[in-house]
Amino acid sequence: MVGAKRGHFRLESGHHGELWLELSQLFRRPALLRAYVADLANRISVYRVDAICGPLTGGALLAGMIADRLQLEFLFAERRVSERTDLFPVDYRIATALREQVRARRVAVVDDAISAGSAVRATCVDIVAVGGVPVVIGALILMGSVGSRFAADQGIPLESLVNIPYAIWTPAECPMCAQGTPLTDAGSG
């Protein structure tokens, strides 16, 4: 269901990686994901959340499926490019029409895949900014340890169905940059 490419990729977080998962096709046939969604929904349900939130696009699609399964409210965060040029230059904000519904709510933040966790990280920050409480992070695929370190640092449990060993580097530490390997902008990750 998921295609993979090897190369030298700039991720949404600003990190560099050597693997890119093609997740755009993942949600074309939602019925194929039902068992995975049910598994992740069951894991999330023990945290007694009030709503499920995901960053657009893949995270929001997954959040909608989990919210439907658990009969909970569905929220989404929209991508906004900031002026920052360091790591994590992208923000995600809860949609304007939904911001009031987040206040004092226990929210699960989910994404299709988490590598550096830039989308999940920014979504959690905005949930807190509007008065909500991120109580669990969920993903179909966890790639490496950077995203899980963020969750641990925040004291937020992380539930994932598949864990893939995955190395990412800052641009200054990237061995592929040091070798002169051309860089491809992956767009998100």
pLDDT at 189: 39
Return phi, psi of residue 87, to 5°.
Answer: -70, 150
Give per-residue pLDDT as tens, 94-109: 999 999 999 999 999 9
Torsion from C-alpha of 103, 189, 147, 63, nearest 10 degrees: 40
146, exposed or middle or buried, with CB in 10 Å at 0-12, 13-18, 19+? Answer: buried
* The CATH number of the domain covering residues in 32-165: 3.40.50.2020
pLDDT at 188: 43
Mean pLDDT of all residues belonging to the chain: 93
- Name the residue type at position 77: A
CA distance 93 to 78: 5
CA distance 116 to 16: 10
Q: With bands split at pLDDT 50, 70 and 90, how would you rate the model's confidence at 89?
A: confident
Output the CA torsion sign for 104, 77, 134, 38.
Answer: positive
CA distance 63 to 72: 10
Give per-residue pLDDT as tens, 105-152: 999 999 999 999 999 999 999 999 999 999 999 999 999 999 899 999
Give per-residue pLDDT as tens, 7-24: 999 999 999 999 988 887
CA distance 138 to 44: 7
